[in-house]
Amino acid sequence: MIRRLVSLLLLAGPLAAQPPAKKPLSPEDALIERYRAFAEPRIPAPRGPLTAEERNTIRRFKEVRKSVVYITAVLVQKDPVTGAVTRKAVSTGSGLVWDPYGHVVTNHHVVTLDGPEGQRVGETPVVEVTLSDGKTYQGRVIGFSFAFDIAVLQVFAPLDAMKPIPIGRSDDLQVGQDVLAIGNPFGFDHTLTKGIVSALDRPIPTDYQTRVLKGIQTDAAVNPGNSGGPLLDSAGRLIGMNTAIPRATGASIGISFAIPVDTLNQIVPILIAKGQLEPPRMGFTVFSAYDAMQMGVRQGLVVDQVDPGTPADRAGLQGVKRDAQGQVVQLGDVILAYQGLPLKDEGQLAALLEVAPPSNDVVFDVLRGGQVVKVHLELKKPSSHPAGI
């Protein structure tokens, strides 16, 4: 009998522990538990048709998005020791397909490199352009204007994949009319924002101490990465190129600026045909801001070469001296100011000459032999220049 009892206890296992008594639910917990039973997907409420304004905005975006591209400026560097090649994206922005020949227009600052002290030291050697279908192609800067912050790229993509943007006018814009902006803010491609024309005839400052006149002010949200993208009217026509936000913010605060399309339509064909606007020929070249800094010059333009028989040569401007191997052994003149305006780099001088090409006398303040002297250049009137800019 005892053995049978022991066997039964072994088969039953250890005595089960008694469950603890449940704590009474608080009124809040009881309410939560009661409503858990009603968890299920919501039934969408029906809505009426989209408004005419919404339908128009959607239609314009679908029509124009294929004309907007995403631009990445790439710096390719080679390690002098290992030989390893690295690619680094140094700038991103937007662009618009200008014509049926693969030309894309953007801001010049989108495809330039910054020096350590804010100088623009030149275009990036590699530019990648991503179309609306997500495919990326190589591009090359074929024309640019410092003064107007405009660059033109030739994109090596199938022409049938690039849809030119419809062109409008900016001389008949009115404050209060609707505008649309498409771009790639912070790398978010093909972002649409909407606003109104907030003001007209705003001067837009550039990085070269010039101003683009007749700028369009809008409250459409524009952020870093929108530069070079289109500003459209409600008909889906290009009326401007988004280019700037107030420098003190770095992000949209309801104020942004666009270069008017009438200016683009005047400048871009010249840049496509000739590469640059045509300032007067002075007859000298200067080093880039980067090269000047390697020589210890952080302010002004280091004169490189002076062409014989030119206004610069006749005025006595002096370039660097080189040894038999072509290495610079002595600095010549450093141009500190043009017509009394201090110069930071060569882009600033080029911009000033684009905006107001001089017809005759030009005065440079030049650092020569430790002293500042004035050098006068006598120029001939330039043969051609875009009028009315």
User: Annotated active-site positions, please?
Assistant: 109, 149, 227
- DSSP class per residue in 322-384: E-TTS-EEE---EEEEETTEE--SHHHHHHHHHHS--SSEEEEEEEETTEEEEEEEE-PPPS-
β-pair partners for 91: 73
Look at the block and give the residue holding tokens 């390697």: 294
**Tokens linked to 382:** 């330039």
Looking at residue 141, the DSSP 8-state letter turns out to be E
Beta pairing class for 256-260 and 238-244: antiparallel
Q: How far is 199 from 177, CA to CA, in rounded Å?
A: 10
Q: How far is 114 from 108, CA to CA, in rounded Å?
A: 12
Q: How far is 302 from 309, CA to CA, in rounded Å?
A: 20
CA 382 to chain centre: 31
β-pair partners for 26: none
Looking at residue 167, the DSSP 8-state letter turns out to be B
Element (DSSP H or E) covering residue 136: strand 136-145
**Tokens linked to 126:** 């590699």
Q: How far is 103 from 153, CA to CA, in rounded Å?
A: 6
Q: 103: alpha, beta or left, given left = phi > 0 and alpha = psi -120 to 50?
A: beta
Tell me if 182 sits within 8 A of 191, measured CB to CB: yes
Amino acid at 53: E
Question: In 3D, which of 228, 206, 204 has the Cα closest to residue 214?
Answer: 204
Torsion angle, alpha carbons of 362, 302, 125, 327, to 10: 140
